Amino acid sequence: MGCIPDRTTNQPSNQLLATPTSSANSLNLTSALETLSLDGYFTFKNNHHAAKDFGNTFQSLPLAVLHPKSVSDISSTIKLIFELGSASELTVAARGHGHSLQGQAQTHGGLVINMESLKAQQMQVHIGEQPYVDVSGGELWINILHETLKYGLSPKSWTDYLHLTVGGTLSYAGISGQAFRHGPQINNVYQLEVVTGQGEVITCSENKSPDLFYGVLGGLGQFGIITQARISLEPAPKMVKWIRVLYSDFSSFTKDQEFLISSENSFDYIEGFVIINRTGLLNNWRSSFNPKDPMQASKFNSDGRTLYCLEMAKYFNPNETDVMDQRTESLLLLLHYIPSTLFLSEVSYVEFLDRVHLSEIKLRTKGLWEVPHPWMNLLIPKSKIHDFADEIFGNILTDNINGPILMYPVNKTKWNNNTSLVTPDEDVFYLVAFLSSAVPSSTGTDGLDQILTQNTRILEYCDRAQLGIKQYLPYYRTQQEWKAHFGPRWQAFIQRKSSYDPLAILAPGQKIFQKAI
Ligand code: FAD
């Protein structure tokens, strides 16, 4: 495909904040864009917000930002850019909530589409045997939760944090503690409306244009911009029993996790995390978890140890408390955690799902939300999780990483293999997420380089030991690496690119394809 030369460079682009394109060229492009008659509008100045993301290490300033008010705003803009063809450098980055890590929603000198301005369209909940909600691609999951709850309904599969857009999470997968049962968010969508790289508006589903439908789900924004999604719903519970237990033995921890995800009558949410050498553990619970018995909790001495925390939740309604308690107790009896470490809490469904937002509020007040986030997410085959843990927690990470390390298994058998998402080649694999923050210290350094070096060491080990891992929210510098990531599915991926975005206009921040000019 002519538009796909190898990428060999990808520097953090703080230096790219200067003039994006030559001024004569950008003047022409600006006037070309201004000829369009839109419901929304472009901004050509003060677009620095669109040059940033949550990762806070990459910055690329666009030429313009489109604030669409209708799907036709997006379609006619992309059509124009497509027609300009290789005469223009313009590429297009849909920006959801900008919670990417390495500039994936940015474009240097191109056009950012602020998808949140499209969300003014009304959400529509459809009740019935197979309830669903139609939402804009720029809608935040937290708003979908509040809207669907008005009908006693809720989406089935979530991310840990809900202030992310539908288009943003469906471009990857959307994984949380419900994914072992329901699959990721991309498996809980009935239909999409997509604007392709030629500006065509296409409604697609399992039965209608399935190649585009499955291509876009987990497709890293490469084949089209999601303007609408039909999300499947289920009856929503009112309350959640939220449980944490600790292990010092890794084998017992993973055995119990694997047992729980294999059982039909299990918890509704199963996650876990690793605690390395943390003192005052219970003052440091991630998110809003407040165990009912803080005295018992405070007696537990975690100093200097590596511990594994299994986190579970059971949904219930107030009139079902007794049954829920019995089920929970009988499940807990089958587990092998340290007996004195059972921490229980009961919260509303909304509090549970929106739990990370509380941490966000706390971190923002301390100025610790907008620091660099050199996060790394890996999918590890079950057969290799012990090798991985021995090396990573035994040798590479000897101290805590200033952020949580999540670790939990999921069932690939519950996931749809037709999407663009690439996962390890085993029926069960683990998500391991290293969610570090580079926080400025008293010496003035933020440790970013050290964390990046640690990430590289982890990846190099996985490579050397041939663990068959895949990156989730993948980040690569060269097309060669992307090719290796997709493996046998690379050909299908580039085939779809040439069908739906032949000039490689869309999602340049992923650095998979480069527009031919
Ligand atoms: P953006 O960062 O704006 O965009 C991400 C990519 O998608 C870009 O390439 C962009 O061009 C493309 N894109 C955006 N909108 C569209 C659209 N409408 N159509 C097509 N392409 C589009 N992920 C999980 O799976 N599970 C988690 O539990 C989880 N927790 C997180 C917690 C936090 C605090 C953060 C910051 C991230 C978390 N993530 C999690 C990762 C998150 O799902 C992704 O980063 C997601 O892309 C963020 O959504 P966004 O709306 O901010 O997307």
Query: In this predicted model, what pLDDT tens digit does every residue of 376-414 receive, in sequence order?
Result: 999 999 999 999 999 999 999 977 778 899 999 999 998
* DSSP H or E run through 191: strand 189-195
Q: Is the pLDDT of residue 8 over 70?
A: no
Mean pLDDT of the chain: 91
pLDDT category of residue 22 using cuts at 50, 70 and 90: low
pLDDT category of residue 444 using cuts at 50, 70 and 90: confident
What pLDDT shows up at residue 19? 44
Query: 274: number of CA atoms within 13 Å, CB side?
Result: 29
Q: Which CATH class, in words, describes the domain spanning 239-472?
A: alpha beta
| Residues 424 and 378: beta-carbon distance below 8 Å | no
What integer is the mean pLDDT of 181-197? Answer: 98
Q: Is the pLDDT of residue 288 over 90?
A: no
Most informative mutation of 95, 158, 430 for ligand 1 (most atoms within 8 A of CB): 95
pLDDT category of residue 16 using cuts at 50, 70 and 90: very low
List the structure tokens of 15: 């230096």
Q: Is the pLDDT of residue 296 over 80?
A: no
List the structure tokens of 309: 């925390």
Where would I find the H helices in 385-469?
A: 385-391, 448-464
pLDDT category of residue 244 using cuts at 50, 70 and 90: very high
Q: Is the pLDDT of residue 27 over 70?
A: no
Q: Is 167 in the pocket of ligand 1 (CB under 6 A)?
A: yes
For residues 58 and 13, give the distance between their C-alpha atoms in angstroms, rounded to a whole number. Answer: 5
For residues 201 and 214, give the distance between their C-alpha atoms in angstroms, rounded to a whole number. Answer: 16
Taking CA atoms only, the protein residue closest to ligand 1 atom 42 is 169
Angle at 157 between CA 155 and CA 163, to 5 degrees: 80
List the structure tokens of 362: 């706390």
Q: Is the pLDDT of residue 500 over 90?
A: yes
User: Tens of pLDDT along 195-220?
Assistant: 999 999 999 999 999 999 999 999 99
Taking CA atoms only, the protein residue closest to ligand 1 atom 40 is 159
For residues 60 and 103, give the distance between their C-alpha atoms in angstroms, rounded to a whole number. Answer: 7
Where would I find the H helices in 127-207?
A: 141-149, 166-170, 179-182
Q: Is 229 in the pocket of ligand 1 (CB under 6 A)?
A: no
Q: Which residue has the tokens 């440790």?
A: 447
Query: 305: number of CA atoms within 13 Å, CB side?
Result: 14
Q: Is the pLDDT of residue 488 over 70?
A: yes
Taken in order 329, 354, 71, 515, the sign of the CA dihedral is negative
Taking CA atoms only, the protein residue closest to ligand 1 atom 49 is 168
Most informative mutation of 99, 212, 408 for ligand 1 (most atoms within 8 A of CB): 99
Active-site pick, 53, 73, 97, 99:
99
Q: Burial letters for 459-492: b for 16+ Cβ neighbours within 10 Å, e otherwise? A: eebbeeeebbbbbbbbbbeebeebbebbeeeeee
Taking CA atoms only, the protein residue closest to ligand 1 atom 35 is 99
Q: E strands along 222-361, which residues?
A: 225-235, 239-247, 269-276, 306-316, 342-348
Query: 30: number of CA atoms within 13 Å, CB side?
Result: 15
For residues 66 and 107, give the distance between their C-alpha atoms in angstroms, rounded to a whole number. Answer: 13
Residue 194 CA: nearest ligand 1 atom is 19
CA distance between the termini of the chain? 14
What pLDDT shows up at residue 297? 55
For residues 272 and 431, give the distance between their C-alpha atoms in angstroms, rounded to a whole number. Answer: 10
Ligand 1 centre distance from Cα of residue 502 (Å) = 24
Closest CA to 40 of 66, 5, 2: 66
User: Tell me, what DSSP letter sits at residue 285?
Assistant: -
What pLDDT shows up at residue 414? 87
Q: Give the CATH architecture of domain 14-115+493-510.
A: 2-Layer Sandwich (3.30)
Q: Which residue has the tokens 């943390």?
A: 278
Helix axes 71-84, 23-34, angle to 10 degrees: 140
Where would I find the H helices in 43-158?
A: 71-84, 141-149
For residues 132 and 254, give the distance between their C-alpha atoms in angstroms, rounded to a whole number. Answer: 35
| Residues 125 and 233: beta-carbon distance below 8 Å | yes
| Residues 13 and 62: beta-carbon distance below 8 Å | no
For residues 112 and 91, give the distance between their C-alpha atoms in angstroms, rounded to a whole number. Answer: 8
Q: Is 72 in the pocket of ligand 1 (CB under 6 A)?
A: no
Q: Residues near 516 by Cβ (< 8 Å), separated by ≥ 6? A: 2, 3, 5, 86, 503, 504
CATH topology of domain 119-235: 3.30.465
The type of residue at 287 is: S
User: Tens of pLDDT along 317-371?
Assistant: 999 999 999 999 999 999 999 998 999 999 999 999 999 999 899 999 999 899 9
Q: What residues does each domain of the chain span?
A: 14-115+493-510, 119-235, 239-472
Most informative mutation of 140, 159, 178, 212 for ligand 1 (most atoms within 8 A of CB): 159
* DSSP H or E run through 359: helix 355-365
What pLDDT shows up at residue 332? 97
For residues 433 and 396, give the distance between their C-alpha atoms in angstroms, rounded to a whole number. Answer: 15
List the structure tokens of 111: 């056009």
Q: Is 71 in the pocket of ligand 1 (CB under 6 A)?
A: no
* CA-to-CA dists, residue 320 to 32, 266, 315, 325, 343, angstroms: 62, 16, 10, 9, 21
| Residues 515 and 242: beta-carbon distance below 8 Å | no
List the structure tokens of 373: 């986030």
Task: Name the percent of the chain lying above pLDDT 90.
Answer: 80
Q: Is the pLDDT of residue 5 over 60?
A: no
For residues 164 and 357, give the distance between their C-alpha atoms in angstroms, rounded to a whole number. Answer: 11
